[in-house]
Amino acid sequence: MLHTATNATIDLQEPAVAKASETRYLERPGGRIAWDVTGTGPLVVAIPGMGDLRSNYRYLVPALVAAGYRVAPFDLRGHGESDATFDAYDDVATGSDALALIEHLGGPAVVIGNSMGAGAAAWAAAERPDLVNGLVLVGPFVRNPPIGFLTVLLFRLALLRPWGPMVWHGYITQLYPGRAPADLDAHRDEIRESLRQPGHWSAFVKTTHTSHAPAEARLHEVQAPALVVMGEADPDFPVAKAEAALVADRLGAQTLLVPEAGHYPHAEYPEIVNPAIVDFLRRVAPHA
């Protein structure tokens, strides 16, 4: 069933933002994955999307920690503080990193994935159902988007150097069509600095070639309960509401639609998204 959040419920108090915690590293074949962990209680692992950082979850982490959860976001390969020395940067590689982190921290875990991170989360849930006891998929790419070859070609041309970094820096703003977070400019600058690190732009471009077919092929294997969170104005989908309905139907998931929000509803309207995710966690990963 589709559930739509309304702006009538918005609390305009400034939401808490996660403070930077100590970066830790997980050794993986080909390089290291950067992550951090905050809080105590049942484990939640959070995967950001392509071209973003684990600080994507800066508005969500404090709410989950306050609700009694241990939250571990990590940077994608070739993003943030993770290495750009890997051979693969796709959903399967990212999903395998998530599973390795869960095993390292002592699972099972609820896995939260945004954008491409949602495809990786779904693949991980199918691959190791014993390690994933719930999924939260935000603006999820769990299948290849229904767009034409010309659009894909133009996107890839737009990301060529020397103009590519500037194009991506500008495009990020379009993904927040609703109420942009107050620190969006600072967050974009953090992303830009990340992409300037040696090898990171090349790794990012490789990530843009990811096919979500491996994730879609395994959706029917996912046993974990799921919550799909979608901004109704998400510009990455032709019709965001329809995409949310399709993903929810494939997974038997609940859905939260956030009016006016784009690709990052958890950063645009945390006062709507945070309580819904906490409520979901309390049902699928209750405290002992």
What is the 3-state secondary structure of 196-248?
CCCCHHHHHHHHHCCCCHHHHCCHHHCCCCEEEEEECCCCCCCCHHHHHHHHH
The more confidently predicted of residues 250 and 14 is 250
Residue 27 has pLDDT above 60, yes or no: yes
Q: Longest C-alpha distance within the chain, in Å? A: 53
Report domain extents, the chain.
2-284
What percent of the chain has a predicted confidence (pLDDT) above 70? 88
Residue 164 has pLDDT above 80, yes or no: no
Residue 77 has pLDDT above 60, yes or no: yes
Q: What is the mean pLDDT of residues 194-209?
A: 92
Confidence class of residue 107 from pLDDT cuts 50, 70 and 90? confident
Confidence class of residue 158 from pLDDT cuts 50, 70 and 90? low
What is the CATH code for 2-284?
Answer: 3.40.50.1820
Q: What is the mean pLDDT of residues 37-65?
A: 97
* CA–CA separation, 256 and 133 (whole Å): 19
| Tens digits of residue pLDDT in 252-281 | 999 999 999 999 999 999 999 999 999 999
Write out the two tokens for 113.
């994935």
Chain-centre distance for alpha carbon 53: 9
Residue 53 has pLDDT above 50, yes or no: yes
Q: What is the mean pLDDT of residues 221-246?
A: 96
Chain-centre distance for alpha carbon 179: 19
What pTM was computed for the model? 0.92
